[in-house]
C-alpha cells in the first residue's frame, strides 16, 4: 500500500483551491447576473469601486457584518464561534446614534430575557460588544457609506477602508422619524437640538429641560416610555396625539395615563414652533397646536419637544442594491433572512417593521448564522454553471480511469503482469491527482441550484 504524506496532501489542497478560485472568478463575468429592481444601477458602482479601493486599506474576510445592535452582535458571536472570523462595522454616530443602536437611547430594558430586574440599554449593548470581541470578532468603529453587491466577492466601503467579503449581513437597524413643520428644522428659525429632539433618553436630562414643561408627539410604546421618563426632569409632560386612542400596549398606556405629571392632548397636531423671547429666541419657547377636529390653533408653552413617531430603516447606503419595500425596509424571503441578492442577509429592525424588539432582532441574527446556509458561504456562480460543469468533468475523469483499470486487469494474462502493473501505476497517479483536485474543490465551494444545496462530500479513492 502507498500513501500520500499529510504535508504534501495539504499543499496540493491549497494549490487546488487557488486554481479553482481563479477559474471561478474568471468565469463570473460571463455569467448572466441575477438582477433586482435596483441592482441595474449598481453595475456602474462596481466599475468605480475598483478604482476607489486603490486609496483605501483593504481587508478580506469570509463574513462582514454591518451594524451594532442585538442582531449584529448575535450574528457575530455565532459566526466567530464557527471560526468565520467576521469583521463588524459598528459605525461612528451613524444616523446620529452611538454604536449599539436604538438600545443605547433606552433607559431600562425590562423585556429582555435573563434580567429579572431589567438592565440599562447601554450596559446591555456593551455586554454584547464584549462577548463578540471575546470570540474573535474584529470590530471597526467606522461608518459604512457605500457597498457593491453587483459581483462576488462583495465590497464594503468606509472613508478609510474597503472590505472584500464572501457574505454580508446587513443589520443597520432603524432611526427615529422626525416631523417637518415651521421651526422644526436645523437652519435659521429652527429649534432642532435647541429644544427639539428625537431622543428623550439622550437629551431629557439637559439643563434647558429641567423643571420646565415638555411635550412628546406620538401614541405608541416609544411615546409612552419617553413621556414617563421625562417626568423625572420636567414640571409637566404633554403627550400630543392626533387620534383619540393610543397604539401603545395596555401596560405602557396605564403607566402614562396614571402618572400625575402627564397630560394628554387628544386629536391634536403640532403645526409650528417658536422661540423663547426671554432668550432672544435662542431656544424653544412654545408650540402651535391644532385640533384636527375643530381646526382651532392654540399656543402651548413648552421648553422641549420630543418626537416619538416611529423609525426609518437605515438603508440609504445600500443605494438600491437590495430590494426594499415602500417603507424602505429590506425585503426578505418569508420566514428567512435571505435578501434579493444571494449571499447577502438582513437581520434586525432593518427588515422587521412588525415586532421591532431587541429579542426578535437577536433571533434573526441567530437564524442567519445557524439556520441559513451561511456556514457554507452560499457561493453563487450565476447562470453559467461553470462550477458544476468543472466538478463533473473531474469526477468523470476519475470514473474513466477506473474503467480502464478494470479493463487492464481483465487482460492481465494476455499483456503480461509487468505491463499491467506499469499501466496501473500510471492510471493510479492520474486518479489520485484528479481526486485531490475534486477534494479541494468540494471542500472550498458549494454547488447551489435554486434552493437545493448540494451537501459537501469528499471523493476518496483507494491506492494500490
Residues forming a β-bridge with 169? 65, 345
Return the CA Rg of the chain.
Answer: 30
Is 292 in contact with 267 (CB distance < 8 Å)?
yes
C-alpha 431/C-alpha 399 separation (Å) is 9
Burial of 314 (0-12, 13-18, 19+ CB in 10 A): buried
Q: Which residues are catalytic?
A: 199, 202-203
CA of 265: how far to CAs of 216, 242, 316, 409, in Å? 10, 8, 35, 95
Q: What angle (nearest 5°) sits at the alpha carbon of residue 212, between those of residues 207 and 215?
A: 110
Distance from the Cα of residue 196 to its chain's centroid:
30
Burial of 459 (0-12, 13-18, 19+ CB in 10 A): middle
Name which of 352, 224, 318 is nearest 36 in CA terms: 318
For the sheet containing 268-275, what is the strand order?
268-275, 284-291, 297-300
| Residue indicated by cell numbers 441592482 | 39
| Residue indicated by cell numbers 412588525 | 354
Residues forming a β-bridge with 289? 270, 298
> Quick count: other Cβ atoms within 10 Å of Cβ 296?
10
**Cis amide bond preceding 67, omega within 30:** no
Distance from the Cα of residue 431 to its chain's centroid:
44
Is 375 in contact with 369 (CB distance < 8 Å)?
yes
C-alpha 376/C-alpha 209 separation (Å) is 53
* Residue 431: all three cell numbers together: 486518479
Q: What angle (nearest 5°) sits at the alpha carbon of residue 31, between those of residues 29 and 37?
A: 100
E strand segments, 276-360: 284-291, 297-300, 304-307, 311-313, 344-346
Q: Residue 303: CB partners within 8 Å, gap ≥ 6?
A: 195, 208, 209, 212, 213, 214, 276, 283, 284, 285
Overall residue count recorded for the chain in this entry: 464
Amino acid at each position: 500500500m502507498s500513501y500520500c504524506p499529510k504535508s504534501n496532501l495539504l499543499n496540493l489542497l491549497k494549490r487546488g483551491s487557488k486554481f479553482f478560485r481563479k477559474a471561478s472568478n474568471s468565469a463570473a463575468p460571463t455569467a448572466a447576473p441575477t438582477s433586482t429592481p435596483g441592482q441595474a444601477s449598481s453595475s456602474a458602482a462596481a466599475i468605480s469601486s475598483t478604482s476607489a479601493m486603490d486609496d483605501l486599506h483593504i481587508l478580506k474576510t469570509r463574513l462582514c457584518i454591518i451594524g451594532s445592535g442585538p442582531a449584529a452582535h448575535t450574528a457575530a458571536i455565532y459566526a466567530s464561534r464557527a471560526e468565520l472570523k467576521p469583521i463588524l462595522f459598528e459605525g461612528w454616530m451613524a444616523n446620529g446614534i452611538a454604536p449599539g443602536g436604538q438600545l443605547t437611547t433606552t433607559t431600562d430594558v425590562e423585556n429582555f430575557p435573563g434580567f429579572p430586574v431589567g438592565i440599562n440599554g447601554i450596559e446591555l449593548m456593551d455586554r454584547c460588544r464584549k462577548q463578540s470581541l471575546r470570540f474573535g470578532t474584529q470590530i471597526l468603529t467606522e461608518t459604512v457609506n457605500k457597498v457593491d453587491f453587483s459581483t462576488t466577492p462583495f465590497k464594503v466601503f468606509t472613508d478609510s477602508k474597503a472590505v472584500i467579503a464572501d457574505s454580508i449581513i446587513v443589520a443597520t437597524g432603524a432611526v427615529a422619524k422626525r416631523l417637518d413643520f415651521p421651526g422644526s428644522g436645523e437652519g435659521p428659525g429652527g429649534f432642532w437640538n435647541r429644544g427639539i429632539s428625537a431622543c428623550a433618553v439622550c437629551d431629557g436630562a439637559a439643563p434647558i429641560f429641567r423643571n420646565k414643561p415638555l411635550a412628546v408627539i406620538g401614541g405608541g410604546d416609544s411615546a409612552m416610555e419617553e413621556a414617563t421618563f421625562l417626568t423625572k426632569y420636567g414640571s409637566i409632560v404633554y403627550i400630543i396625539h392626533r387620534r383619540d386612542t393610543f397604539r401603545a400596549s395596555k401596560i405602557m398606556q396605564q403607566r402614562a395615563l396614571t402618572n400625575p405629571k402627564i397630560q394628554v392632548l387628544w386629536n391634536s397636531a403640532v403645526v409650528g414652533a417658536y422661540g423663547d423671547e426671554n432668550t432672544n429666541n435662542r431656544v424653544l419657547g412654545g408650540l402651535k397646536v391644532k385640533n384636527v377636529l375643530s381646526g382651532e390653533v392654540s399656543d402651548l408653552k413648552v421648553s422641549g419637544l420630543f418626537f416619538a413617531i416611529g423609525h426609518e430603516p437605515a438603508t440609504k447606503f445600500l443605494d438600491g442594491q437590495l430590494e426594499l419595500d415602500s417603507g424602505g425596509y429590506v425585503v426578505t424571503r418569508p420566514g428567512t433572512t435571505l435578501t434579493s441578492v444571494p449571499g447577502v442577509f438582513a437581520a434586525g429592525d432593518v427588515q422587521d417593521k412588525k415586532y421591532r424588539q431587541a429579542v426578535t432582532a437577536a433571533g434573526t441574527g441567530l437564524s442567519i448564522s445557524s439556520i441559513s446556509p451561511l456556514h457554507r458561504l452560499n457561493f453563487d456562480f450565476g447562470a453559467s454553471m461553470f462550477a458544476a460543469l468543472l466538478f463533473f468533468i473531474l469526477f468523470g475523469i476519475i470514473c474513466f480511469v477506473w474503467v480502464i483499470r478494470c479493463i487492464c486487469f481483465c487482460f492481465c494474462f494476455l499483456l503480461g503482469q509487468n505491463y499491467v502493473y506499469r499501466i496501473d501505476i500510471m492510471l493510479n497517479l492520474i486518479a489520485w491527482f484528479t481526486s485531490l483536485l475534486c477534494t479541494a474543490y468540494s471542500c472550498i465551494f458549494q454547488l447551489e441550484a435554486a434552493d437545493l444545496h448540494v451537501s459537501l462530500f469528499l471523493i476518496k479513492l483507494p491506492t494500490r
